[in-house]
Structure 1
Amino acid sequence: MAMPADQKVADASLRSPDAMENSLMSKTRGSRRALLAMLVAALMVAGCMPVDHGGGRETRSSTVRTDEPSRDTTAAARSSVVKVRGVAPKCGAQRDRTGFVVAPHRVMTVAHGVAGAESVSVELGGTEHKAQVMSFDPSANVAILDVAELDATPLTFAESPAANGADARLLVDRDGSVAAAPVQIRETIELEGPDIYRSAIARREVYTFSGTVKSGDAGSPLIGLDGRVLGMAFGASIDDDDFGFALTAKEIASHIETAARDRPVGTGRCVS
């Protein structure tokens, strides 16, 4: 199976007023294939134009099975998924993203969702809780929040990577209700491109997956059928509305160590 040579990526909404485009090159290590991409550091949405695969390249079918396993292994995990709201008056923005509990009173989400925010909160089960940013990494696009009043069980990370073609679920908070959207892993790649500020080049290990990604899904956990975290969604193709991107568990696991910090950090400047 070959990766389309001109796939484009968005980790923010092209339909958002504060949307912006960043150019990057995504390279699949160990092969000659390269992926020309655009990162947009605001709201994440699905693609808005068809892909021209061209050249007779073979591509993995984007068909995703919608049949649920006999036992819903994601039910417990859903109660650990929250909506994250970053209010940034100086940026003229309020951004709603998704996050998930990774340690007691700690939530992981995407850094671009809280960039420049003066106040951050999370919502679980209709109740909003004040949050503080304890770690903010614009290169990895990962942030860790402290939510003192949050009582939710941390999710467990997978010990091994997902295989190509594996079924999984994207736990998304839409309209205050967490749903398990069926997705299928396409492959693992190394994605190179600018950080959320376009000030440095970052390299990330990323899953590509088949499945619909909508606005606000950035920060959603990618869950295996065993209920363990495979990664965190951060983007969607702007060339294919059935093509998403997630940082792998290996890529984001090291950030959990920062959950032990006891002092908040700054949220950086606005994404513009």
Structure 2
Amino acid sequence: MRRAVAAVIEAQALRGAQSTRFVAVLWTLCAVLLCAALGACASDRGEAELADAPTEPVSQIESSDGPLLLSAPPAASTIDDDVLDSAARGVVAVRARGCGPVANGTAFAVAPGLLVGAAHVVAGAPSVEIEWSTSESTEPSRHLVDVVGYEEDSDLALFRTESGVPPLSIDQAQLGTNGAVLGFERSSEFVVSPARIEHYVSASGLWGQETTRSVYVLAVDIRKGQSGGPLIDQDGSVVGVVFAAIQGPQDIGFALSREELVRFLISAGIDARVNDRGETVIAAQPASLEEVPHGECRIG
């Protein structure tokens, strides 16, 4: 049976830094299911069904209406190696410089010349660069990028680049799906973190109690530096954007849904939509986008 749940989760941003602790690294994510029937909250039917409790739960998120139970992350990725290799080419390491210690994150291409990453990674940084390699056999190259979209409420940022990173397809998620989070641990080692989508909630908090967003709760071992990285399914399509994880021994992560990603792209001036066949269509002219302010330094 579907339930309305008010859950308070101690969450950890996935921002890597060299030394000084960032206030943005320690967040509180207040997950609030706003509808008794979650189907009323989601635009995609595949996103609307609440997963049954895992048969062998290993962790849980306490709530006022009982716990949200989660099983252990998949022991290994079940995504085909060729699919993983193809998806990896569309993922880059992000370094934000000039706002205290270097902040590290991950981004991925959504259209030619445009990348999506996490807002908290680049908040206030006067210089943002990506590191990308065209293949495993070549040394990665670094490219400065322009911040042309920024939204603290959803924790998403949009970057313009001339590096030629190939775009990834974007699709809806299905609860219970095994996939993987792709990203760079502390902006160096590329990591594939096997993941399972266990719950879908409307969450408030994080950047302010008035903020509400559609979030997947994942059984996954997230690494620092994977913030902004894509959650992909078995086909290599992006079905979510990772932005936070539970503090402590539990393997729990959080990813923004396709609904949130498409809405953000539209707000940034991109022609983005889901067509009648359920396909995500993105048409963009990066050169027409202007740079935008992107927050303030959050050093503590």
Q: TM-score range by the shorter chain?
A: 0.7 to 0.9
Distance 2:230 2:68 in 1: 29
Amino acid at match of 1:249: R
Per the alignment, residue 242 of structure 2 pairs with 233
Q: Cα distance, 1:152 vs. partner?
A: 1.8
What residue number does 1:11 align with?
A: 13
Aligned partner of 1:77 among 63, 83, 87: 87
Is contact 1:190-1:205 (8 Å) kept?
yes
SS in 2 for 1:93: coil
Listed one character per residue, the Cα deviations across residues 146-182 of structure 1 (whole Å, up to 9, x for unaligned) are 112x112111100x3x222110111112364433221
Q: 1:243 aligns with which of 252, 256, 259?
A: 252
1:12 Cα offset (Å): 4.3
Give the direction of change, closer, same or farther, for the CA distance of 1:118–1:155 in structure 2 (3 Å limit).
same
1:194-205 aligned within 5 A: 194-195=206-207, 198=208, 201-205=210-214
TM-score (norm 2): 0.73
Please say if residues 232 and 247 of structure 1, whose CA atoms lie closer than 8 Å, have aligned partners that are also in contact: yes
The aligned counterpart of 2:219 is: 210
Gaps (5+ residues) in structure 1? 33-49
Residue of structure 1 in register with 2:204 after alignment: 192
- Does the Cα contact within 8 Å between 1:7 and 1:51 map onto a contact in 2? no
1:212 Cα deviation after fit = 0.5
Q: Which amino acid aligns with 2:167?
A: P
Deviations 1:34-69 (A, max 9, x none): xxxxxxxxxxxxxxxx86859985723224242524
What does residue 112 of structure 2 align with?
104
Give the TM-score, by structure 1 length: 0.80
Give me the whole-angstrom Cα distance separating, in 2, the residues matched to 1:182 and 1:14: 20
Q: How does 1:174-193 map to 2 (within 5 A)?
A: 174=185, 176-193=188-205
- Partner letter of residue 151 of structure 2? D
Q: Give the secondary-structure state (helix, strand or coil) at the position aligned to 1:233.
A: strand
In 1: Cα distance, 2:68 partner to 2:204 partner: 23
Partner of 2:87, secondary structure, is helix
SS in 1 for 2:70: coil
- The answer to which of 53-62 and 177-186 deviates more is 53-62
Distance change in 2, residues 1:211/1:115 (3 Å): same
Residue deviations 1:222-256 (CA, integer Å, cap 9, x gap)? 00111111010000001443000001111112333
Q: Distance in 2 between matches of 1:119 and 1:13?
A: 16
Preserved contact between residue 4 and residue 57 of structure 1 (Cα < 8 Å): no
CA contact (8 A) 2:150 2:158 kept: yes
CA distance change for structure 1 residues 127 and 14 in 2, over 3 Å: closer, same or farther? closer
State the alpha-carbon separation in 2 of the partners of residues 67 and 82 from structure 1. 20
Q: Between 124-133 and 70-79, report the one with greater CA deviation.
A: 70-79
The answer to whether the 8 A contact 1:98-1:109 is kept is: yes
Question: What RMSD in Å do the two structures reach over aligned CA positions?
Answer: 3.0
Equivalent-residue separation in structure 1 for 2:34 and 2:75 (angstroms)? 29
Matched, 1:152 2:161: no
Q: Structure 1 residues 252 and 240, CA, compared in 2 at 3 Å: closer, same or farther?
A: farther
1:211: how far off?
0.8
Aligned to 1:28: 33
